[in-house]
A and B are shown apart, each in its own frame.
Chain A
């Protein structure tokens, strides 16, 4: 696709900046590596063989393209817009995370790296990373907050089955941000042989751009599938946002389609009025963390505050820098839904469509349930169903007061 000069799709600039956001705020030890990674990524982008291997693995190993599904009973229940899902929960490993991991491990191998590290929150990125490491025979260390290790036990076991070493991180609040700190500490001490597979569209440049591009397969497929199935583009795209990679993957190929509106859904936890939420855009302010300038949950002195969400995958006090830019540019709207609303969305999808979603996209479902009834019946809402809920049934059972 051609991108015109005034495109929303030509970010970041050559220094990795999305407007005032993004960049490369890393320690000097990592800077040469980050520059090297960018060079290698550019070379890979220009190499048809790299793209061909990526496409082949996505088709035959991941199971792409993922289906585009019209949800008739949910549409009927909501009584407004037609609701469609991009079924990325049907991917191998059960979420969109694997798309990015395939891309990054191919890059790691291309760079001659022999050891893989990653951070994980809900465990989906950890599982996806452990999976590609098993597939390519590389040793794998996953950093996971001790709190998340406890609330995502099934995924911890999956990672171990796949041969990964899972290291619980006990510093700070022992969640995703602390796991990322520990990942960066590992990387800085093992720069010669280690590739850090970052799981979301955040971190130092080129990660936000690279992860977005690997995930853009979601939006490219959805765009083509929509045109072929209904002959037009959707009116509204909806996706949940922690770091924001599934949302960018869906949104980015549509950014220059002026008639397509977009809504990113953050985790409001117990509500935006207190501090028990993980809505960096709606409840945060710009700052610098984990290699990029972006919206953060922080206090007046710039100390990072602990986010809260029922979903371990959204429980991060920052957000990908491109979302920060898309918010300020006005191209994408952002909203937030609470833990309770997400739980209702979770059950709504189970009941109406026979699909158990992950708690992350359950937030997006809650937003669909609010928005769809306000739209005409001939309008189309397309939501990224970015993960399945097997991993979350214990959390949900506990919240619903059910003993398993």
Chain B
């Protein structure tokens, strides 16, 4: 059992929270998320060219880099997080270039030493798995793949092959933070993936409110919230932790009780 598989088994459905590393007081922000009920943390590695992200996360990347955040800083945030929260899964999410800059083996080793459980790389599809996947697997780090509305039945096995941890279903063909998908399409997609894999399916993109999160939690194993949290970091800066705690608590309650409501 890994931290990720244990978490998805116990906290079902799970709340996955994303913030960008180096955007505000990262340690305090992460603690707020965990204390308010986040089950899995996605820590964004800032990149100059976040081409799959909408304005909110683009701005967070620029704020972080503007504050001088380096790869070493991101790894230090991870190491410190692991020391404070030994059981909470931590996933690094970002783009290929900062991850492969010093070589995939270097990155996998450094991430493993920092206590990272999984890595989501937006722009390494299964076709280019060699660029990072083997190095991660060799260090026991889960390469978490994205599946999207354009991932058809023929392509799904290739996406699942070599994936670990969970499958991140990007429910909208678009950039982060924009519109939300129709619930029926999410339910259909999750069912389709479930027929082919035992990995948990977490659903994200455009999830902003507890109501939206609860609706998704009824059909998926996890709900990912990013832009709404990142916007709080941008708006409140050093005062973000209290606001993050507030939203995360509401999201966690909604996600964790979503299926009880069905039972009633």
User: Complex formed: what's the CA distance from A185 to B58 in Å?
Assistant: 11
Most buried by A among B95, B145, B147: B95
Question: Which of the candidate stretches B11-19, B85-93, B168-176, B246-254 sits at the interface with the other chain?
Answer: B168-176
- In-complex Cβ contact of A32 among B54, B146, B155 (8 A): B155
CB 8 Å contact bits of A72-93 with B (1 = contact, 0 = none): 0000000000000000000000
- In-complex Cβ contact of A302 among B71, B128, B147 (8 A): B71
Chain B residues near A171 (CB, 8 Å)? Answer: 58, 62
Report yes or no: B47 in contact with A29, Cβ–Cβ below 8 A: no
Chain A residues near B175 (CB, 8 Å)? Answer: 185, 188-189
Residue B51 CB within 8 A of the other chain: yes
Chain A residues near B50 (CB, 8 Å)? Answer: 181
- In-complex Cβ contact of A28 among B49, B99, B101, B147 (8 A): B147
* Residues 295-320 of A contacting B (Cβ, < 8 Å): 296, 298, 300-304
Residue B65 CB within 8 A of the other chain: yes
Given contacts A28-B145, A184-B51, A291-B123, contact A302 B150 (CB under 8 A): no
Chain A residues near B70 (CB, 8 Å)? Answer: 301
- Write the chain A residue with the least CB distance to B152: A32
Report yes or no: A189 in contact with B146, Cβ–Cβ below 8 A: no
- Write the chain A residue with the least CB distance to B174: A189
Given contacts A25-B96, A33-B150, A287-B97, contact A304 B131 (CB under 8 A): no
Report yes or no: B100 in contact with A26, Cβ–Cβ below 8 A: no
- Write the chain B residue with the least CB distance to A189: B174
**Count of A-B contacts judged by CB separation below 8 Å:** 116
User: Complex formed: what's the CA distance from A385 to B100 in Å?
Assistant: 38
User: Complex formed: what's the CA distance from A202 to B35 in Å?
Assistant: 46
CB 8 Å contact bits of B28-42 with A (1 = contact, 0 = none): 000000000000000
Report yes or no: A26 in contact with B49, Cβ–Cβ below 8 A: no
Report yes or no: A304 in contact with B174, Cβ–Cβ below 8 A: no
Given contacts A25-B128, A301-B70, contact A185 B52 (CB under 8 A): yes
- In-complex Cβ contact of A298 among B101, B122, B123, B131 (8 A): B101
* Residues 143-163 of B contacting A (Cβ, < 8 Å): 145-152, 155, 159
User: Complex formed: what's the CA distance from A15 to B96 in Å?
Assistant: 18
Given contacts A290-B51, A301-B98, A303-B48, contact A28 B151 (CB under 8 A): yes
Report yes or no: A189 in contact with B178, Cβ–Cβ below 8 A: yes
User: Complex formed: what's the CA distance from A304 to B98 in Å?
Assistant: 9
Chain A residues near B215 (CB, 8 Å)? Answer: none
Report yes or no: B97 in contact with A28, Cβ–Cβ below 8 A: no
Residue A191 CB within 8 A of the other chain: yes
Report yes or no: A28 in contact with B159, Cβ–Cβ below 8 A: yes
Residue B125 CB within 8 A of the other chain: yes
- In-complex Cβ contact of B173 among A25, A26, A191 (8 A): A191
Given contacts A188-B173, A189-B175, A304-B48, contact A28 B98 (CB under 8 A): no
Report yes or no: B49 in contact with A177, Cβ–Cβ below 8 A: yes
Report yes or no: B123 in contact with A29, Cβ–Cβ below 8 A: no
* Residues 5-31 of A contacting B (Cβ, < 8 Å): 15, 23-31
Q: Tell me how many residues of A have a C-beta within 8 Å of chain B.
A: 37
User: Complex formed: what's the CA distance from A28 to B149 in Å?
Assistant: 9
Chain A residues near B97 (CB, 8 Å)? Answer: 287-289, 296, 298, 302-304
Residue A137 CB within 8 A of the other chain: no
* Residues 52-111 of B contacting A (Cβ, < 8 Å): 52-54, 58, 62, 65, 70-71, 95-101
A30 to chain B, nearest CB (A): 8
Residue A376 CB within 8 A of the other chain: no
Most buried by A among B151, B173, B178: B173
Report yes or no: A29 in contact with B51, Cβ–Cβ below 8 A: no
* Residues 149-196 of A contacting B (Cβ, < 8 Å): 171-172, 177-178, 180-181, 184-185, 188-189, 191-192
- Write the chain B residue with the least CB distance to A185: B175
Report yes or no: A32 in contact with B151, Cβ–Cβ below 8 A: yes
Residue B199 CB within 8 A of the other chain: no
Residue B261 CB within 8 A of the other chain: no
A305 to chain B, nearest CB (A): 8
Given contacts A26-B123, A29-B170, A288-B123, contact A302 B98 (CB under 8 A): yes
Chain A residues near B123 (CB, 8 Å)? Answer: 25-27, 288, 291
User: Complex formed: what's the CA distance from A80 to B76 in Å?
Assistant: 60
- Write the chain B residue with the least CB distance to A291: B123
- Write the chain B residue with the least CB distance to A36: B150
- In-complex Cβ contact of A29 among B48, B54, B65, B150 (8 A): B150
Report yes or no: A181 in contact with B51, Cβ–Cβ below 8 A: yes
User: Complex formed: what's the CA distance from A15 to B131 in Å?
Assistant: 13
Residue B112 CB within 8 A of the other chain: no
CB 8 Å contact bits of B112-156 with A (1 = contact, 0 = none): 000000000011110110010000000000000111111110010
Report yes or no: B48 in contact with A287, Cβ–Cβ below 8 A: no
User: Complex formed: what's the CA distance from A293 to B151 in Å?
Assistant: 23
Chain B residues near A180 (CB, 8 Å)? Answer: 51
B206 to chain A, nearest CB (A): 11
Going nearest first, the 4 A-B pairs with the smallest beta carbon separation are: A302-B101, A189-B174, A302-B98, A302-B97
11 A/B residue pairs, CB under 8 Å, sorted by A: A25-B128, A28-B148, A172-B48, A181-B50, A287-B100, A289-B97, A290-B51, A298-B97, A302-B98, A303-B97, A304-B97
Known A28-B146, A185-B51, A302-B98; further 12 A-B contacts with Cβ < 8 A: A26-B125, A27-B52, A27-B148, A28-B145, A29-B146, A32-B155, A33-B150, A172-B49, A188-B173, A189-B178, A192-B173, A293-B131
Contact residues of B with A, CB < 8 Å? 47-54, 58, 62, 65, 70-71, 95-101, 122-125, 127-128, 131, 145-152, 155, 159, 170, 173-175, 178
